[in-house]
Amino acid sequence: MSQIVLYLYRKRKYFRWPFLALCLLLVGLWWYRSLENVNELQWQYVNGYGIRMPLKYTIHGIDVSHHNSRINWKRVCQAQANGVSLQFVFVKATEGATLVDRRFKHNWKEAGKVGLKRGAYHFYHPKRDPAKQARNFIKTVTLKPGDFAPVLDIERNDKGRVPADKLIADIRIWLRLVEDHYGMKPIIYVNRHFYLLYIAGNFDDYPLWLADYSSDHPDQFKADRLYIWQHNEKGSVDGIRGKVDFNVFVCEPERLKEICL
């Protein structure tokens, strides 16, 4: 198509009106396609949460840690805006080889008590022993049927100090130990940068939870393995002080069970 436009441009003294008409048509098609892509997700600013949300999807949730301080889980469960309620939460459980999030026990119990679907995640330290990190998570987190599969959160590599081949091998150790214990493949949480560096081509058979705030939809990622999309880190929720990460389940609702015990 670009060759046609270039040809008409060079011959514009003979094809002035056809050239202008074609340009207008191409611009119109481009604008319509862009609008169609945005509307496909039905982005809408939801005042109660303070962010735009992709309302094409129906299962929305958040993730929290001790950084969110004390949470009023009853108010979180009752939160609703523009017909959107929160249905799930991922709670930080552990970090590295020894750390347990100081709010995990309370958050885990209270989130379950108000009826939110729960998931627990481990914040991975590349320079720590992966087996010790797996054991830290296993001894801290008891999962029940209906809970999300365990989550491995990978988002740092200390400025690349751990070689990629070693990091990938260590991640495999953590995943294998945790999968053996819970009997289910863990979910990998990762941002766009780390996905491209370490996950793509190495862990394509694991469920993916992607943090990507830069695009209207992470289309280019493994569609069949992408289950959860963290689309905003600056939401607001009644019952929680400060900003909150917002997530959405991007598959058909009946597929939610694929990543739950």
Q: pLDDT tens for the chain, 261 residues: list them.
A: 545 544 545 555 544 556 555 555 654 554 444 444 444 668 999 999 999 999 999 999 999 999 999 999 999 999 999 999 999 999 999 999 999 999 999 999 999 999 999 999 999 999 999 999 999 999 999 999 999 999 999 998 876 689 999 999 999 999 999 999 999 999 999 999 999 999 999 999 999 999 999 877 776 666 679 999 999 999 999 999 999 999 999 999 999 999 999
Indicate if 205 belongs to the active site: no
Q: Which of 63, 110, 153, 212 is catalytic?
A: 63
The structure tokens listed for 132 are: 């010790």
Q: Which of 40, 155, 180, 204 is catalytic?
A: 155
Strand residues in 12-59 grouped as ranges (E): 43-46, 51-54
What average pLDDT does the chain have? 88
* Distance in angstroms (rounded) separating the CA atoms of residues 46 and 235: 10
Q: Are the C-beta atoms of 124 and 133 separated by less than 8 Å?
A: yes
> pTM of this prediction?
0.83
Indicate if 212 belongs to the active site: no
Strand residues in 97-237 grouped as ranges (E): 99-100, 117-123, 151-154, 187-191, 208-211, 226-235
The structure tokens listed for 99 are: 């750390």
